[in-house]
Amino acid sequence: MLPKWRLSISNDDFAGALQSPYYYSMDTLHDLFDEANGHLAVGELEEAIIFYRRCVALDPDFFDGWHALGMALLKTGQTKEAIGCGLQAVTLQPNDLLAWTGLSQMYVRDGNIPEAETAKGNARILSLGGKIVR
């Protein structure tokens, strides 16, 4: 079994999502993901994060949810948590170029240049047609 990078879901944002009418009316993962993307598209990052958190809570193997949540957290300055999401994304899909690129950006923002270079190297391997995991 793959390791899971767990988020703290007891924060106020997630609690707010549980009170939202969307929590009860959106019955599919993709509805939640679409709602999150809609908030992201209009610059409502905090609202998007709430829905991305709900997505990964419903399906811990949902790669797109982890990747999107990580990037949204990075944009709001929540770098450490973003890195956890980025690590979960590359664990789920180790041959995804954008996941490694995003993780590299997260490490740069955190000031962890050696890890950023490692992630960048993996992205470069993938960009040249290689594989991280065969």
Task: Note the pLDDT of residue 13.
Answer: 52
**pLDDT for 133:** 85
What pLDDT is recorded for position 11?
A: 47
Tell me what pLDDT residue 8 has: 39
pLDDT in tens, the chain (134 residues): 333 333 434 445 555 555 554 454 456 999 999 999 999 999 999 999 999 999 999 999 999 999 999 999 999 999 999 999 999 999 999 999 999 999 999 999 999 999 999 999 999 999 999 999 86
Axis-axis angle for helices 29-41, 45-58 (nearest 10): 160
Identify the CATH assignment for 12-127 out of 2.60.40.3880, 3.40.30.10, 2.60.40.790, 1.25.40.10. Answer: 1.25.40.10
Region label for 129, one of left (φ > 0), alpha (ψ between -120 and 50) or beta (otherwise): left
Task: Considering only CA atoms, give the Rg of the chain.
Answer: 15
